[in-house]
Amino acid sequence: MDDCIFCRIVAGEIPADTLFEDDELVVFRDIAPQAPVHFLVVPKKHLSGPAAIAQADEALAGKMVRVAARVAAEQKVGDAFRLVMNNGAKAGQVVFHLHLHVLGGKDAPWPI
């Protein structure tokens, strides 16, 4: 989608601090971190948010969690990290492209 900022990151049109990428996912640091370690796991396929995950996307959604845990380990957060997905503006979603927040590092608990 042309007007989707995360689609533009996926397409390489906007730079990101990328931690992992494969054919289905890109993982990059959040531009406004809410914790010492804060990155986003983003599917390359455009889905508007968690409520748009269909049965056909279940493997992709599970992979998002698995990759989140692996990158969290690489970022040396130990066994303490938080996964957050916001759905809808009233829940604080501002980017309407599915993403999983991963927060960790010192100073837990983290704000989101």
Restricted to residues 5-44, the positions that interact with ligand AMP (CB under 6 A) are 5, 14, 16, 28, 30-32
51 binds ligand AMP (CB under 6 A): no
Considering the complex, what minimum distance in angstroms separates the CB of residue 33 from ligand AMP? 8
Tell me whether residue 77 or residue 93 sits nearer to ligand AMP (CB atom).
93
| DSSP element (H, E) containing 61 | helix 58-74
- The span from the first CA to the last CA of the chain, in angstroms, equals 27
> What gap in Å lies between CA 112 and CA 104, rounded to an integer?
11
Neighbouring residues of 15: CB distance < 8 A, sequence distance ≥ 6: 9
Dig out the tokens for 63 from the structure.
């992979």
Binding mask 55-94 for ligand AMP (x = CB under 6 A): -------------------------------x-----xxx
Interface positions with ligand AMP (CB under 6 A): 5, 14, 16, 28, 30-32, 86, 92-95
